Amino acid sequence: MNVSEAILKRASIRKWKPVPVEKEKIHKVLEAGRRAPSWGNSQPWRFIVVQDKTRREGLANAAGGQAVIRDAPAVIVCCGSIEDFSRKMQRQSLKELMEVGALDWTDELLDKVVLESDLFAPYRLGEQVMTVKAGEQIMIAIAYMTLEAVNQGLGTCWVGAMSPKDAHKVMGLPGNIFVHDLIPIGYPAEDPKPRPRKSLDKIISWETYP
């Protein structure tokens, strides 16, 4: 299956076959997320695979009792770490890009960017901005994972309608990690029709906005 086919086939799945998902397939889905791009190579995502029934029940309750979470054989809890946008970590991730030739910078320019510019330093703008920026990167990784799930014959449902605080408590996470989304994953027990989408002429313009 190529990427275009996966994009066309992907749909939110809410009914699951009562069979476990092979660990190897979950690993491939997670690897797709790991390969996603992120701002300054920050990679602020953390993924926790939950298969335990009691914990899945807790996550479902944190999401208003949604059966799509409770009934899924596995749930990927997509978390973020704002510490990856700290001055130290931002410099380290940019330095790694320099070392592989992705950035043609000198150490002097690197230090100038990290220490003096807000462009690559969300830590200078506060915890709220760092949380938003981390969330942006997590969503990119999730998009990659949902497509790889299709490639593996699996289904997913992107669940953001939940209480991050309650999910955090269910997972017993440390204070420096926050929950952003829940991704139930499994073998689909349904084949949904394509969802309605706006036509290209309603969302695209060239050169100027009409």
- Domain borders along the chain are 3-85+127-203
pLDDT of residue 204: 96
Q: How would CATH label the architecture of 3-85+127-203? A: 3-Layer(aba) Sandwich (3.40)
Give residue-wise pLDDT tens across range 151-204. Answer: 999 999 999 999 999 999 999 999 999 999 999 999 999 999 888 999 999 999
Q: Residue 34 above 80 pLDDT?
A: yes
d(CA 101, CA 62): 44
Q: Residue 128 above 90 pLDDT?
A: no
Q: Is the dihedral of CA 201, 202, 205, 209 positive or negative?
A: positive
pLDDT of residue 11: 93
Q: Residue 7 above 70 pLDDT?
A: yes
For residue 76 the two structure tokens come to 């990927």
Question: What is the pLDDT confidence band of residue 120, given thresholds at 50, 70 and 90?
Answer: low
pLDDT of residue 1: 86
Comparing 170 with 125, the larger pLDDT belongs to 170
Alpha helices in the chain (DSSP H): 3-9, 23-34, 53-62, 67-70, 87-99, 107-116, 127-151, 164-171, 200-203
pLDDT of residue 68: 96
For residue 163 the two structure tokens come to 């209480």
The total of other beta-carbon atoms located within 10 Å of residue 27's CB is 12
What b/e string do you get for 68-77 counting C-beta neighbours within 10 Å, with b at 16 or more? bbbbbbbbbb
Q: Is the dihedral of CA 118, 121, 122, 123 positive or negative?
A: negative
Pairing of the two strands 74-81 and 45-50: antiparallel
Q: Residue 121 above 70 pLDDT?
A: no
Comparing 123 with 77, the larger pLDDT belongs to 77
Q: How far is CA 44 from the centre of its chain?
A: 10
pLDDT of residue 111: 86
d(CA 48, CA 76): 6
Give residue-wise pLDDT tens across range 54-113. Answer: 999 999 999 999 999 999 999 999 999 988 888 888 889 999 999 999 999 999 998 887
Specify the pTM: 0.91
pLDDT of residue 119: 65
Q: Residue 29 above 80 pLDDT?
A: yes
pLDDT of residue 125: 66
d(CA 169, CA 177): 11
The total of other beta-carbon atoms located within 10 Å of residue 95's CB is 15
* Alpha-carbon distances of 209 from 127, 199, 202, rounded to whole Å: 34, 16, 11
For residue 160 the two structure tokens come to 């953001």
d(CA 29, CA 37): 15
Question: What is the pLDDT confidence band of residue 124, given thresholds at 50, 70 and 90?
Answer: low
Question: What is the pLDDT confidence band of residue 132, given thresholds at 50, 70 and 90?
Answer: confident
